[in-house]
Structure 1
Amino acid sequence: MIHVPAQQTSTLSPAWRACVGTGRTREVLHADYRDSLALVQDEIGFGASRAHGIVHDDMGLVQPYTHEGVAGTRYAFSYVDLVIDTWLDAGVAPFLELGFMPEALASGPDTVFWWRGNITPPRDHGEWAALTRALLTHLIDRYGIEQVRTWPIEVWNEPNLTTFWRDADEAAYHRLYATTARAVKEVDSGLQVGGPAISPGSDDWLPRFADFVASVDVPCDFVSKHAYTSGPAQEVPFGVHQTLRPPQDLLDQFASPGRLLAGSPLEGLPVHITEFSSSYRPDNPIHDTAYQAAYLAPVLASGGDHVASFSYWTLCDVFEELGVPTAPLHGGFGLLGHRQLRKPAFHLYSFMARLGEAVLAQGDDHLVTRHPDGRISMLLWQPLDGTAVADAGHRVRLSLPASGPAHVVERHVDAERGNVRAGWQAMGSPLAPDRRAVEDLHDASAPAVHIHRVQPVGGRWEIDVRLGRHGIALVEVTGSADQTPAWSDDTQLLGLGGDAG
């Protein structure tokens, strides 16, 4: 029995929904993405979104021309404005990741992804600085300096990997960062710029990055990195399988910048985890499972203890790094599948959004909170270590401070309930489900709801919750008087035992 105190012990950090990932900037213009954004904002309410490729060629930003033998460049902001307007209209601010290199500015042909993001340094750093200044000046003119100053500007994506930065050249990245950061501050000293946006496994970049920016007096307002717990990819057609480390490993990765930068010139700066999940692959079925939700529950509950934000990668499965997905549920990164199919991880976030700010108790399988009106909301989960699937559920018993009779609403998602992937597999995993099947999958994705009453005993409510296998639950306890009329008697529903009048 978990004895929950009446007094608040801490405040729930908002870091868990400060930002969410979007795959590629151009994908924001996809109708399915925009429908997903509206749903996510209605039920969760993220503060910002980060996407790759805001200056990639498919955004049409850099338009070279030649007139009378003189070369020039026109900057075209139409698609950039459409993307940012879409985000702002939904209540989401941009977290600006500057990349990939426009072909007209690139020093080489190396690219990544199906949509061919160029991963080479600029051939002329002055041209890159001019692009940076032009973009930010336009954003300030259109949206106002006070608003744009709140949008973090991150320089590149995972330059420690040869996949994303030619030869993973650290010195070349430092030069790019210095050029970009100085250009940002030339536009306005109050703009926030940071990096190095490294992937897991290269934390040694962080102290060297700190030494570099200090040695050449380059501005840095925040530090960013990514966090994943999956092992090497075991390829299968249209997918992968991977081992996982325990979820505590994600929290350790969140905490590592603070530890590594202690005593450095960057000590104390905000840390943003601008991508995190279990697997770093967009075709790993773990993302679609109930396991993913229970596995990440302790991370959402505690991640804000270490960082200013940690951004789930990604909002939805409109995501084309490996090409157009071949199935509605294909192991994509998204909280939502195509056509807004709610995955268990989506429910984890929607459950978090219904918690109060006042934390009463927190442990390996629970986070108990209270709202200003006295309601108690709690997130419960089955602890999973990433090494094996569970063969049974999990039980959580709590003793809560009571204020009279109450009703309890339990919402459950697990391997069988509220699990759209289980329903899709039962249909035979159709690659193109028809409209009726999609409607059925939406119904199958809804959490199971159980409502019951509880009476106080000795000034306490005792709540016994049984989670399903790989389960999470939102449990809400609300004080409520019993207004059932005295003549109500369900044993007499058929009128077989009492007087007629």
Structure 2
Amino acid sequence: MSRVTVPGEPIGRLSESWRHCVGTGRMNLALRADYQESLAKVQRDIGFRYIRGHGLLSDDMGVHRVSGDGVTRYSFTYVDQVFDRFLELGVRPFVELGFMPTALASGEDTVFWWKGNITPPTDPDEWAALVRAVVRHLVERYGAAEVRTWPIEVWNEPNLPGFWKDADQQAYFRLYELTARTVKDVDAGLRVGGPAISPGSDEWWAPFAEFVTRHDVPIDFVSRHAYTSGPAQHVPFGTYQTLDAPEALLDQFAAPRKHLAGTALADLPVHITEYNSSYRPDNPIHDTAYHAAYLAPVLTGGTELVDSYSYWTFCDVFEEENVPTSWFHGGFGLLTHRQVPKPTYHLYAFMARMGTTVLARGRDHLVCATDDGRVTVLAWQPVGGTDGPDAPERHEVRLSVPLTGPRAFVRRERVNEHDGNAFGAWRELGRPRSPSPRALDVLRDCARPALEHRQAPVVAGRVDLDLTLARHEVTFVELVPVHPEHHEGLDDRRLLGASDDRLAAPHERP
């Protein structure tokens, strides 16, 4: 195969839209130690800017309370604990207003095993009072300047009858209008948006744009979700699905601007507030090396399409389909319970180390430069979804990379079907449903990316980089300019067993 010559001059900046937001299970789960430990690790290694999840107003957060004699009180005991901890960990809330508190609900329809109520409010004024109380409390506690940076999204996937009673479009539009006006009444600088629709419902864009424009309803951003999986094929405690090619996710990212072109909403920020391959929290694809390779072109290719695309979710502390029955169970998370990284976690951690100056993009690579002179490469084996060809056992990426200095230190980390793959190790361990402490240590060890390093010559300001990727591999390479320093009296050739003088200082070489 031919070698790709990476330009010495940048072709752009790497947008941080890829880590602007990440998804989470319902808000109540943020009170758990395992959840908080997982979020702390994610923030150390990746550093998401915002976090979004369901159920802020559901009964288990205890915000809307009504006494036996009909007195209403708003309680923020749990909300404060959750949001305080988020901010301590360096991540801000991307606020989703939902679901309906039971005492305000017009019906008994619910979603998920934890029964989030999906019905409109019996009394719109009481809903407005609840929204006003929540938003006012946030402003008073965290300050208007801070909360103005928090996007506030109205509901979740109202186009689906499972999330909004009968998927009643006009009822949602009325809810959106009431909520948006209430938020702005508290502080006109707060940012509010929606409609947070699921894939396959782009016909909502035109009437939504027409409604908010005709009624002069406040809107600061639009939001949508993106998934590429087909119908669920259920098995006991699990699901399998077909997958479209990963490029279909990029098409979905681009859809809001396409459908809003020519409307008053055309230039608004676009947030993909959920995305993944499968929309099921029990699909084993999420645990695999294939999944990391599948999402690599999405993570690297979506940066210029939207203002954010939020991976759903950061960890497996997640209970939409009840409590998981097995350690690896196809959960959405980048991390399992107890902080075992999955291959897709490493894809994100690699991306976090890429640098901000883009030198080259390709179907199987992204090359960036850092401010301190390093060059970083993210490379992957392309995969094509269910209808794509089977991935071969090897994939070659050959690059000519610009670098200063006489030599380069080349550091490479690999994740594939064997390396950095805790799911593979778990299968080899016999698929324990409840791993022992020792087995957990083994899984964490096996989850580490394989690491190799070497020194390479820089010839005419370039390093030839030949990467052989294993099946479903994602690899990260860092090239650091080497400027040898003199150490008087040190001569590596005098070491017992030494047979290579390449690391000797230039004046010490024969």
| TM-score, normalising length: structure 1 | 0.96
Taking the aligned partners of 1:402 and 1:264, their CA distance within structure 2 comes to 47
The alpha-carbon deviation at position 491 of structure 1 amounts to 8.3
Write the letter of the residue equivalent to 1:456: V
Offset of residue 187 of structure 1: 0.6
Q: Given the superposition, is the C-alpha separation of residues 169 and 494 from structure 1 closer, same or farther in structure 2, using an over 3 Å criterion?
A: closer
1:59 aligns with 2:61: yes
Q: Is 1:367 aligned with 2:369? A: no
Match of 2:195 in 1: 196
Q: CA deviation at 1:391?
A: 3.6
* Secondary structure at 2:40 match in 1: helix
Supply the AA of the counterpart residue of 1:487: D
CA deviation after TM superposition for structure 1 residue 482, in Å: 4.3
- The yes-or-no answer on 1:424 pairing with 2:423 is no
3-state SS, counterpart of residue 137 of structure 1: helix
2:283 matches 1:281:
no
Distance, in Å, in 1 between the alignment partners of 2:472 and 2:205 is 36
* Partner deviation per Cα, 1:405-440 (whole Å, 9 max, x = no partner): 011000000011000000000001000110000000
Q: Show CA shifts across 1:121-162 (max 9, x none).
A: 001111100000000000111000000011000000000101
CA offset at residue 490 of structure 1? Answer: 7.9
Match of 1:401 in 2: 402
Question: Which of 443, 448, 452 is matched with 2:450 structurally?
Answer: 448
- Residue 13 (structure 2) aligns with: 11
Name the SS of the counterpart of 1:259 in structure 2. helix
Partner of 1:499: none
- Could you tell me which residue of structure 1 aligns to residue 108 of structure 2? 109
Match of 2:497 among 493, 497, 501: 493
After TM superposition, give the deviation of residue 265 of structure 1 in Å: 1.4
Output the CA distance in 1 between the equivalents of 2:255 and 2:186: 32
Residue 231 (structure 2) pairs with residue 232 (structure 1): yes
Alpha-carbon distance between aligned partners in 1 of 2:373 and 2:325, rounded to the nearest angstrom:
47
Task: Name the CA distance, whole Å, in 2 between partners of 1:476 and 1:494.
Answer: 26
Distance in 2 (alpha carbons) for counterparts of 1:299 and 1:365: 11
Shift of 1:327: 1.2
Q: Which segment is superposed worse, 485-494 or 85-94?
A: 485-494
2 CA distance for matches of 1:19 and 1:321? 20
Larger mean Cα displacement after TM superposition, 386-395 or 1-10: 386-395
CA distance in 2, matches of 1:205, 1:124: 25
Q: Distance in 1 between matches of 2:493 and 2:451?
A: 24
Give the Cα–Cα distance (whole angstroms) in 2 for the partners of residues 72 and 393 of structure 1: 67
Structure 2 residue 267 is matched with structure 1 residue 263: no
Matching residue of 2:99: 100
1:48-81 deviation line (CA, Å, top 9, x unaligned): 00010000000011111254xxx32000100000
Matches of 2:230 and 2:291, distance apart in 1? 15
Once the two structures are TM-superposed, the CA of residue 481 in structure 1 deviates from its matched residue by 3.0
Q: Percent identity?
A: 57
SS at match of 1:225: strand
Residue number in structure 2 paired with 1:46: 48
Structure 1 residues 96-105 or 385-394, which shifts more?
385-394
- The whole-number CA distance in structure 2 between the counterparts of 1:391 and 1:424 is 24
SS at 1:154 equivalent: strand
Aligned to 2:503: none
Task: Report the Cα offset of residue 206 of structure 1.
Answer: 1.1
Matches within 5 A, 1:18-167: 18-67=20-69, 71-167=70-166
Q: CA deviation at 1:371?
A: 0.5
List runs of 5+ in structure 2 lacking aligned partners.
500-510
Query: Which structure 1 residue ranges, 5 or more long, are not aligned?
Result: 496-501
Deviation readout 1:98-138 (Å, 9 max, x if unpaired): 00000000000000101000000001111100000000000
TM-aligned CA deviation for residue 386 of structure 1: 0.9
Where in structure 2 are the equivalents of 1:268-417 lying within 5 Å? 268-387=267-386, 388=388, 389-403=390-404, 404-417=406-419
* Residue in structure 2 matched with residue 498 of structure 1 by the alignment: none
- 1:459 Cα deviation after fit: 2.7
Q: Deviations over 1:213-242 (max 9, x none)?
A: 011111111000000000001111111111
What's 1:223 paired with?
222
Instruction: Give the partner amino acid of 2:251.
Output: D
CA distance in 2, matches of 1:83, 1:27: 9
Deviations along 1:317-371, one digit per CA (max 9) or x if unpaired, are 0000011111111100000001101000100000000011000000101100001
CA distance in 2, matches of 1:494, 1:244: 52
Offset of residue 489 of structure 1: 3.0
* Residue 390 of structure 1, CA deviation: 1.8
Question: Aligned runs of 1:177-188 on 2, under 5 Å?
Answer: 177-188=176-187
Secondary structure of residue in 1 paired with 2:398: strand
The aligned amino acid for 1:267 is: A
SS at match of 1:339: helix
**CA deviation after TM superposition for structure 1 residue 456, in Å:** 1.7
SS at match of 2:94: strand
CA distance in 2, matches of 1:340, 1:234: 29
Q: Deviations over 1:226-282 (max 9, x none)?
A: 000000011111111111111111011000111110111111000000000000000
Aligned partners of 2:359 and 2:368 also within 8 Å: yes
Q: For the Cα contact (< 8 Å) 2:375–2:403, is it kept in 1?
A: no
Alpha-carbon distance in structure 1 between the residues aligned to 2:206 and 2:306: 17
Query: Aligned partners of 1:494, 1:135: CA distance in 2, in Å?
Result: 69
**Residue of structure 1 equivalent to 2:507:** none
Q: Which SS does the other structure have where 1:305 is aligned?
A: coil
Give, as a single letter, the amino acid of the residue that structure 2 aligns with 1:201. Answer: G
Give, as a single letter, the amino acid of the residue that structure 1 aligns with 2:403.
A
Any conservation in 1 of the 2:21–2:49 contact (CA below 8 Å)? yes
**Alpha-carbon separation, structure 2, partners of 1:460 and 1:74:** 67
- The separation in 2 between residues aligned to 1:490 and 1:134, in whole angstroms, is 75
Contact kept in structure 1, 2:378 and 2:475, CA below 8 Å: yes
Normalised to the residue count of structure 2, the TM-score between the two structures is 0.95
Check the 8 A contact 2:492/2:498 in 1, yes or no. Answer: no
Could you say what secondary structure the match of 1:127 adopts? helix
Q: Distance in 2 between matches of 1:198 and 1:252?
A: 15
CA RMSD of aligned residues (A): 1.4
Which AA in structure 1 matches 2:414?
H
